[in-house]
Structure 1
Amino acid sequence: MKKHIFCLATALCMVPALAQAQSADWPSKPIRLIVPFPAGGPTDLVAREAANILREEFKQTVIVDNKPGGNGTLGHAVLAKSPADGYTIGLLVITVAIAPHLGNAPFDTFKDFAPISNMVSMTPIVVANNNAPFNTLAELASQAKASPGKLAFGTPGVATVPHLAAELFQMQSGTQLNHIPYKGATQQIQDLIGGSTQLDFQSSLVVAMPQIKAERIKALAVLSDQRSPQLPNVPTAKESGYPGLVVSPWFGLGAPAGTPADIVQKMHGAIAKGLGSKEVQDRFAAIGASVHPNKSPAEFSAYIKSEFERWGKVIKAANIKAE
């Protein structure tokens, strides 16, 4: 009996040492990076940039694995259920701050993930049909107040960041608009050009900027904290009289909860170093994105908590329900 107890005690003592040895050898095999959206979009571009940064830093293969579905919830659920060994990581995006408030999240934002670092945020923008009788957010508010509930605006879908931004605008301006949800930004912008809608809230500059440059639509304001270098003449909502209308869809990196802290820290250091490269920053700037690495994983965790609380209040106040 004593022999069995001794063997068990010895085995238990060896567990921390084994884990430490595994962390020291990390990464000794390819790393899988889960992307909760389809290939080809801005999110996929962020993931592939992250994969390049980690690949260069650790001299190890990083495989990008797209797991779209459920407006990003499926991919996050896959990440949450993956082994916490440092060999599966994934994009951790604003979805984790929104989906739980809609009752359709197959994960726990605060128990299922080990946040590593925020990476970038996109530049949402409010655009209008060229013939719309308003050119600024103030003129838009005046027009909306004159005809409550009649002015239609498009978004890429219910509970998307542009939809939440529009609800925030209505709360802050005391207006009531008519929401037209689409299944994506492309058809949304085509209907705006054609005049089916007069107003659009877009999650980034990717779709809108070429149409603005071609003068097919006009920009009212960007919703980022600062003006976009790509559209320097377009004011921010903050400059336009709405200091609380700062919205930035963010894209960070995370691992399953329980991933060794030293591995998380190594990845954080690699991402911070990679995002400091001017070449990387310029590639993101080309799609209207700006880099925002956190000083530590703990800082990213605190940011997720603040965003979770912020959007929870907006969703509740606007009575937004999942489709």
Structure 2
Amino acid sequence: MEKLTKRMSAVDRRSFLTAAIALAAVPAGAQQDFPNKPIRIISPYTAGGLGDTLPRALSVVLSPRLGQRVLVENRPGASQMMGTQFVARAENDGYTLLWASTTNMAINTIAQTRLGYDPQKDFAPIGVCFTSPLYLLVNPRLPVKSVKELIAYAKAHPGKLTFASGGSGSTNHLAGELFMQQTGIRMLHVPYKGAGPAIVGVIGGEVDLMFEGAGIEHARHGQLRALAVASRQRTHGAPEVPTIAEAGVPGFDASVWFGLAAPAGTPPAVVARLASGLQEALKDPALVRSIGDAEITPSSPQAMADLVRTDTDKWRKVVVDAHIVFE
């Protein structure tokens, strides 16, 4: 043991000691009997949106897999930071979990100067659950019907096009920045106080376009035109809509993912039990019928940890290249 410890780096030793202390603090019987009481999923989102409806749909099929009630509790505020901080400081016994997302685990580390938590150090990933597509939606009066036509129009009218978002640093904001960087066009960003008002702005013609998931319903009713979906694959909800990569921008991907994470130091056996239950729950056919256009995209805890790192690097590069300064 002494020789092994000497070979470890300082970070490795800290990680090893943290895990050892966590395991010692939880009686073996408690780990074996887990779970023996209800589990809370803390959603840092307000009620009504995907950050609320998706964990509630999941809780219905996850409860029987774990043998305990799984409850969802909303703790919104400060760009998801309040709820995320709450879980980071919660008991690491597996009974308080975080509804994690692209925003609170990756983008916030770039967009927020006072985060109050470290996504890669303060949480134990359990697994990704869903991916929500962002559609490239334009006002029907804009004279374009494809991504190629949009790019051509933007290049012929540099700086004329405007794109809406739910706020500076939001996923639909950074998706627009990524689109400009990969196509070489210029557009003016118009931030709104939420995605809902932003969609209304595009429908009303105040703004030309935006990247958003919920707006696909308006496209189905002719209020918006869906040019493409920003995910790597077409969606089951709108299979007729091509991906942006298919439409002429190779490699484009600006999806929003959601998953579960526990506080750091949660015993590995507990994380494994939660991950196993999650994987089984995501196979339930009833879940597909209750999540709308979201896609079920299960992953292992390690794959989720890797995704947090790669997404953080990806969006940081977008912000740096766009010279975006967040207040």
> Fold-level match, TM-score > 0.5?
yes
Helix, strand or coil: the match of 2:254?
coil
CA contact (8 A) 1:54 1:267 kept: no
AA aligned opposite 1:291: I
Aligned match of 1:24 in 15, 23, 32? 32
Which residue identity does 1:303 align to in structure 2? L
Q: Which of 210, 219, 232 is equivalent to 2:217? A: 210
Shift of 1:18: 5.3
Cα distance in 2 for partners of 1:262, 1:212 equals: 46
Residue 267 of structure 1 is aligned with which of 252, 271, 274? Answer: 274
Identity %: 35
| Residue pair 2:61, 2:287 contacting (<8 A) in 1 also | no
Q: Which residue in the other structure is 2:141 paired with?
A: 131
Over aligned residue pairs, what C-alpha RMSD do you find? Answer: 1.8
Q: What is the aligned partner in structure 1 of residue 246 from structure 2? A: 239
TM-score, L = length of structure 2: 0.89
Cα distance, 1:144 vs. partner?
1.5
The 8 Å contact of residues 104 and 322 in structure 1, kept in 2 or not, is answered as no
Partners of 2:247 and 2:110 in 1: how far apart? 30
AA matched with 2:244: A
Render the CA deviation track for 1:106-139: whole Å, top value 9, x for unaligned. 1111110000000000010011111101111111
Distance 1:61 1:229 in 2: 30
Residues 264-296 of structure 1: CA distance to partner in whole angstroms, max 9, x if unpaired?
A: 111101111111122212322xx21111111x2
Q: Which residue does 1:64 correspond to in 2?
A: 72
Specify every segment of 5 or more residues in structure 1 that has no aligned partner in the other structure, as ranges: 1-11
> Given the alignment, which residue of 295, 301, 325 partners 1:290?
295
| Contact in 2 for aligned 1:165/1:245 (Cα 8 Å) | no
The Cα shift of 1:167 comes to 0.5
The answer as to whether partners of 2:135 and 2:216 remain within 8 angstroms in 1 is no
Counterpart of 1:196, as a letter, is: E
- Is 1:98 the counterpart of 2:107 in the alignment? yes
Deviates more, 1:312-321 or 1:32-41: 312-321
Q: Secondary structure at the match of 1:283?
A: coil
Which letter maps to 2:74? N
Q: 1:7 aligns to what?
A: none
**Equivalent residue, structure 1, for 2:3:** none
CA contact (8 A) 1:120 1:293 kept: yes
- Ranges in structure 2 where 5+ consecutive residues have no aligned partner: 1-19
Letter in 1 for 2:269: D
Task: Supply the distance in 2 between the matched residues of 1:261 and 1:62 (Cα, whole angstroms).
Answer: 20
3-state SS of 1:265 partner: helix
The whole-number CA distance in structure 2 between the counterparts of 1:70 and 1:178 is: 25
Q: AA paired with 2:108?
A: A
Q: 1:88 to 1:177 in 2, by over 3 A?
A: same
Bigger Rg, structure 1 or 2: 1
User: In the TM superposition, what is the alpha-carbon distance from 1:26 to its structure 2 partner?
Assistant: 1.6
CA separation of 1:239 and 1:21: change in aligned 2, threshold 3 A: same
Aligned to 2:190: 180
- Which of 77, 82, 89 aligns to 1:74? It is 82
Q: Is contact 2:165–2:173 with CA below 8 Å preserved after alignment?
A: yes
What does residue 10 of structure 2 align with?
none
Q: Residue 310 in 1 paired to residue 314 in 2?
A: yes
Provide the residue aligned with 1:189 in structure 2.
199
Do the aligned residues in 1 keep the contact of 2:91 with 2:263 (CA within 8 Å)?
yes
Distance 2:135 2:287 in 1: 23
Q: Deviations over 1:16-42 (max 9, x none)?
A: 395211111221222121001011111
Q: Which amino acid aligns with 1:194?
A: G
Cα deviation per residue 1:25-83 (whole Å; 9 max; x = unaligned)?
22122212100101111111111123223311122222211111122122111111111
Distance in 2 (CA, whole Å) between partners of 1:243 and 1:300 is 24
CA contact 2:57–2:290 (8 Å) conserved in 1 = no
Contact 2:58 2:287 in 1 (8 A): no
1:250 match: 257
SS in 1 for 2:228: strand
2:132 pairs, out of 118, 122, 137, with: 122
Q: Which residue of 2 aligns with 1:230?
A: 237
Q: How does 1:32-43 map to 2 (within 5 A)?
A: 32-43=40-51
How many residues align? The count is: 305
